[in-house]
Amino acid sequence: MIAKKAMGLPLKGLRFAIKSGDSILDNATTQVGRFKTWFDNNKAKAALDEQPTAKRNYTKTAKQNDVTTSNQTLDLQELEFKKAPINWIPATILVATPIAAAVITPWYLFTHQVSAPVWGVFGAFMVWTGISITAGYHRLLSHRAYKAHPVVKNFLLLGSTLAVQGSAFDWVSGHRTHHRHVDDRIEDPYSAKRGFWFSHIGWMLRNYPSGKFDYKNIPDLTKDKVLQIQHKYYGLWVLAANVGLVAAVGWLVGDVWGTLVLAGLLRLVLTHHFTFFINSLCHMFGSRPYTDTNTARDNFFLALFTWGEGYHNYHHFFQYDYRNGVKWWQYDPTKWLIAGLSKVGLTTELRTVDDTTIKHAEVQMQFKQAQQQIDTVSASGLDIPHVMQSFQDRIKFEYDAFTQTVEEWQALKAKAVEMKKTEFADRLHEVDDKLKLEYAKIEQKIHAHNDNLKIAFRSIGYKDKAA
């Protein structure tokens, strides 16, 4: 008991410190603002405007009345979800295509010879469709993480149309809402809080209130002529791509039906579910190295199926970065494609978050995890083992030092802004060189905090933390 009390006192300080750290982190994250596009400037306004009418009304009611009314409001909203009508066209496609693929593909392979070129077309269409969603609809259109030459943009747009996941307007509007209201049971169109089935596919089968988009959060897309055409004639485009184009390629390789079955049907179903994994499994299984304020996870195995989008925890924290697997060794073919195309000038203005900001977020999370370890032991009611007490002391010491580093970093950022304002243009490069050195020192210090945390975690047998 005494040991528990002794453990409790400094913890309070650390908890407070970690909370203060959160606000520092918020400030640091705000600095990432320079990576954001002009779209971001409209974000606050759009956030106010884009709430579905139902939500706006409910919010108003809840404010005016007491807790009972707010509970009733919640019940009403849940009722609206329960009685949501079937979304017939997507529901038919999403139910019929997997059944058809499960029956037709094995039968076809059993009864027909499929040539290598047909398998080649199947592979090429898998890559084209999958990576068009990740590099096109997702990183280019939803997050404006880079700029693409019209040839690249249209190639990715055609691939995204092959994916049959809705028009760019629908996809991007829903995805931006997902980021803004992640995990909200009412607002997030594919909220993981409603379980695997809903976040994977269920959200498309019915007309849920969270799935009604008014496009107010995509002002940058609605004025794009090509996207307008894709949206207006979406059904025709889907048929032309998935039947017309696939059959034409099949004719070129001498097997129309084989190509339609494999590069058409089977490819469609597989790419559907690989993409859906991002909304379901990537919000369920994996690690949370950057933030635990939402359910998004980093998962290498899911990155294999999702063209690199398995690093979803990073993505939810730094959504404007063109990379999802931010470490050089992380499997992210979408990142490699975008970076590769930039070498030949087909993609430009690739947005990245600087290494210090990323490392800072990681270290911040490690402190949180350390605190959770301490809390767990302290809540057990047993005497605190000696090793745990010294772990706690180390963490407390390290956190004080880390807080100081972050303060130095903030001061340096303020100084940088001031110096650039007052310095003559022809001496700006000298200022940059000087600042670069100072930033490098801060980065080294944050890495040193990371190393010290690793040692502290190892001392209590948690080798996987603070990696």
- What residue ranges bind Zn ion (CB under 5 A)? 296
Compare residues 192 and 241 and give the one whose CB is closer to Zn ion: 192
Name residue 364's amino acid.
Q
Q: What whole-number distance in Å separates Cα of residue 154 and Cα of residue 230? A: 11
Compare residues 264 and 333 and give the one whose CB is closer to Zn ion: 333
Give the pair of three-digit tokens for residue 202.
């269920």
Compare residues 133 and 296 and give the one whose CB is closer to Zn ion: 296
Residue nearest to Zn ion (CB): 296
Q: What whole-number distance in Å separates Cα of residue 87 and Cα of residue 85? A: 6
Smallest gap from Cβ 321 to Zn ion, in A, equals 10
Compare residues 296 and 302 and give the one whose CB is closer to Zn ion: 296
Q: What whole-number distance in Å separates Cα of residue 372 and Cα of residue 292? A: 12
Q: What whole-number distance in Å separates Cα of residue 184 and Cα of residue 259? A: 41
Smallest gap from Cβ 438 to Zn ion, in A, equals 33
Compare residues 29 and 410 and give the one whose CB is closer to Zn ion: 29
Q: What whole-number distance in Å separates Cα of residue 256 and Cα of residue 102? A: 19
Smallest gap from Cβ 316 to Zn ion, in A, equals 6
Give the pair of three-digit tokens for residue 346.
């087909």
94's CB contacts (< 8 A; 6+ apart) are 201, 204, 205, 272
In DSSP terms, 409 is beta-bridged to none
Smallest gap from Cβ 278 to Zn ion, in A, equals 6
Count Cβ atoms below 10 Å from residue 397 Cβ, excluding itself: 12
379's CB contacts (< 8 A; 6+ apart) are none
Smallest gap from Cβ 466 to Zn ion, in A, equals 25
Give the burial string for 454-467 (b: 16+ CB within 10 Å, else e).
bebbeebeeeebbe
Long-range Cβ contact pairs of 299-304 (< 8 A, separation 24 or more):
300/330, 300/331, 302/277, 302/278, 303/330, 303/331, 303/332, 304/331
In DSSP terms, 348 is beta-bridged to 147
Compare residues 88 and 300 and give the one whose CB is closer to Zn ion: 300
Count Cβ atoms below 10 Å from residue 433 Cβ, excluding itself: 9
Q: What whole-number distance in Å separates Cα of residue 391 and Cα of residue 412? A: 31
Count Cβ atoms below 10 Å from residue 154 Cβ, excluding itself: 14
Give the pair of three-digit tokens for residue 365.
């999370």
Q: What whole-number distance in Å separates Cα of residue 453 and Cα of residue 462? A: 11
Name residue 378's amino acid.
S
Smallest gap from Cβ 353 to Zn ion, in A, equals 14
Compare residues 142 and 242 and give the one whose CB is closer to Zn ion: 142
Give SS3 for 311: strand
What are the two backbone dihedrals, phi and then psi, of residue 206, each rounded to the nearest 5 degrees? -125, 160
Count Cβ atoms below 10 Å from residue 383 Cβ, excluding itself: 14
Smallest gap from Cβ 126 to Zn ion, in A, equals 21
With 0-12 CB in 10 A as exposed, 13-18 as middle and 19+ as buried, what is 80? Answer: middle
Question: Are 305 and 286 spatial neighbours (Cβ–Cβ below 8 Å)?
Answer: no
Compare residues 186 and 384 and give the one whose CB is closer to Zn ion: 186
Compare residues 157 and 466 and give the one whose CB is closer to Zn ion: 157
Name residue 309's amino acid.
E
Compare residues 163 and 296 and give the one whose CB is closer to Zn ion: 296
Smallest gap from Cβ 44 to Zn ion, in A, equals 19
Q: Which residue has the tokens 């931006």?
A: 176
Compare residues 322 and 457 and give the one whose CB is closer to Zn ion: 322
Smallest gap from Cβ 97 to Zn ion, in A, equals 24
Smallest gap from Cβ 192 to Zn ion, in A, equals 8
Compare residues 277 and 439 and give the one whose CB is closer to Zn ion: 277
